[in-house]
Amino acid sequence: MKKVIFLVDMQSFYASVEKADNARIQNKPVIVAGDPERRSGIILAACPLAKKFGVKTAEPLWEAKRKCPEAVIVRPRMKRYIEVSYQITQIVEQFTDLVEVFSIDEQFLDVTGSQRLFGEPLTIAKKIQTAVMEGTGVYSRIGIGPNKVLAKIACDAFAKKNRDGIFQLDHSNMKEQMWPLPIGKMFGVGSRMVHHLERLGIQKIGHLAQFPVHILKKRWGINGEVLWQTANGINYSPVTPHTHENQKAIGHQITLPRDYRTIEEIKVILLELSEEVAQRVRAKNYRGNTVSVGVRGADFENPTGFHRQVKLTSPTNFGMDIFKAAFKLFCAHWDRLPIRSAGITLSQLQPADSYQLNLFDFSMRKEELNQAMDVIRSKYGQTAIVRASSLTKSGQVFDRAEKIGGHYK
């Protein structure tokens, strides 16, 4: 039996949830955006009515208001969106047990074995659309393909523009439908890669599919072959329900409410990020070997910043260990210009149950201390115990405790 993979995508997810929860704004243009006073005034979602006015995701709120003055502006409610996303997962699991959450509003489904129960792929797709709409009030678009790549492209390039919100893309119509698309429409190709490919004369997906694969491999190694395979509709990755259980890295990034200019105030935010990362790593029962630091400058016209990493002498999940490595990296590469955002990541994760003991780092004492702090925070909240530096004007821990994914709950 041939594989049948779905990519189920929720239309304007955040805005759709807001409309489903509030009948008074059902027929109005709705925009979900952050707080401009805290420099998060970016459009996170716009309903189809707002998009008709030219409103686009990721543009500044002031620009969206200029295009659509009558729009209803809603602050994001991340906790609610996560609840609805989980509800949608439960709905689609009624059609198959092979469900892979790809993002908060996208899910891959393998319905190959479900056809005997629910019918042909198009029939199953319509049943899923109906079930999700009746259960949550959110409209879904579905791309159908023999693998994840073609299902994703079918959804993004075609289903989102179809009246029915469903499109099937496979090797029988791939050359006619997918190959004429601009290369930037292909899954896995970002803006930088578009530039590189166009310099090779590759303007469309079909050009890439017919390009000599050995040249691509010589230029980009295995990634070059993956690009060529994607353009030819080849992809062997299965739909994996537990794909997110084995993480390779855990990190935190923050856009600051103002430009941070001095080493003293930047030090505070790096310490807070290090503690947050460490707490998440411990919660997953991991230790990590590599610390990465990334910052972005405050000047949009002349972008500055850096991203660097360092390997530790031994794996850790302690905040101060991460901070010391991160701060040393930052001091070595900072250009002394104001920064707008910062992020810290701990990677090369491994189970925390077994690790090489070091006689000189007092791991057991640190582990007991961090376990105690984790218990306190778990019982009384993230701000029940904080470092004194977080009480200064530079600290953001109290504000971040009220957010999920950088947005208020």
Three-state SS annotation for the chain: CCCCEEEEEECCHHHHHHHHHCHHHCCCCEEEECCHHHCCCEEEEECHHHHCCCCCCCCEHHHHHHHCCCCEEECCCHHHHHHHHHHHHHHHCCCCCCEEEEECCEEEEECHHHHHHHCCHHHHHHHHHHHHHHHHCCCEEEEEECCHHHHHHHHHHHHHHCCCCEEECCCCCHHHHCCCCEHHHCCCCCHHHHHHHHHCCCCEHHHHHCCCHHHHHHHHCHHHHHHHHHHCCCCCCCCCCCCCCCCCEEEEEEEEEEEECCHHHHHHHHHHHHHHHHHHHHHCCEEEEEEEEEEEECCCCCCCEEEEEEEEEEEECCHHHHHHHHHHHHHHHCCCCCEEEEEEEEEEEEECCCCCCCCCCCHHHHHHHHHHHHHHHHHHCCCCCCCHHHHCCCCCHHHHCCEECCEEC
Residue 43 forms beta bridges with which residues? 33
* CATH architecture under which domain 176-231 falls: Orthogonal Bundle (1.10)
CB of 317 closer than 8 Å to CB of 284: no
The pTM of this model reads: 0.75
Beta-carbon contacts of residue 45 (< 8 Å; ≥ 6 apart): 12, 13, 14, 15, 16, 31, 32, 57
What sign does the dihedral 351-353-358-362 (CA atoms) show? positive
Tens-place pLDDT, residues 279-298: 999 988 899 999 999 999 87
Give yes or no for residue 395 having a pLDDT over 90.
no
Query: What is the mean pLDDT of the segment spanning 191-210?
Result: 93
Identify the top-confidence range among 59-63, 203-207, 315-319: 203-207
Q: Does 261 or 355 have the greater pLDDT score?
A: 261
Residue where the block lists tokens 């010589």: 218
Q: Do domains 176-231 and 249-408 have the same CATH topology?
A: no
Cβ-Cβ contacts under 8 Å for 59 (sequence gap 6 or more): 42, 43
How far apart, in whole angstroms, are the C-alpha atoms of residue 43 and residue 95?
Answer: 33
- Single out the residue of 307, 325, 334 nearest to residue 271, CA to CA: 325
The count of C-alpha atoms lying within 13 angstroms of the C-alpha of 350, restricted to the half-sphere facing its C-beta, is 11
pLDDT on residue 303: 76
Q: Break the chain into its structural domains and give their ranges.
A: 1-169, 176-231, 249-408
Beta strands across the sheet bearing 286-297: 249-260, 339-351, 286-297, 305-316
**Does position 221 have pLDDT exceeding 80, yes or no?**
yes
- Catalytic status, residue 176: no
Pairing verdict, β 249-260 and 166-168: unpaired
pLDDT band at 302 (very low <50, low <70, confident <90, very high): confident
Q: Residue 259 in contact with residue 339, Cβ under 8 Å?
A: yes
More confident residue, 387 or 168: 168
Residues in contact with 348: Cβ distance below 8 Å, sequence separation at least 6, in sequence order: 248, 249, 288, 289, 290, 311, 315
CB 4 within 8 A of CB 108: no
Its CATH architecture, for the domain 1-169, is 2-Layer Sandwich (3.30)
Q: What is the pLDDT of residue 121?
A: 96
| 32-36, 157-161, 219-223, 265-269: least confident range | 32-36
Amino acid at residue number 253:
Q
Question: What is the reported pLDDT for 175?
Answer: 95
Residue ranges of the annotated binding site for Mg(2+) are: 9, 105
d(CA 322, CA 289): 10
DSSP β-bridge partners for residue 194? none
Please write the tens of the pLDDT for every residue from 353-388: 765 555 555 566 777 787 888 888 888 887 888 888
Q: Which residues contribute to the annotated binding site?
A: 9, 105
Residue predicted with more confidence, 39 or 271: 271
pLDDT at 245 over 80: no
pLDDT tens for each residue of 87-139: 999 999 999 999 999 999 999 999 999 999 999 999 999 999 999 999 999 99
- The torsion angles phi and psi of 341, rounded to 5 degrees, stand at -145, 160
Phi, psi (deg, nearest 5) at residue 404: -130, 125
Set 100, 106, 272, 276: catalytic member: 106
Q: How much is the average pLDDT of 192-203?
A: 92
| Angstrom distance (rounded) from CA 227 to CA 134 | 39
Class of CATH domain 249-408: alpha beta
How far CA 175 is from CA of 167, 171, 212, 225, in Å, comes to 15, 8, 17, 19
Average pLDDT over residues 171-187: 95
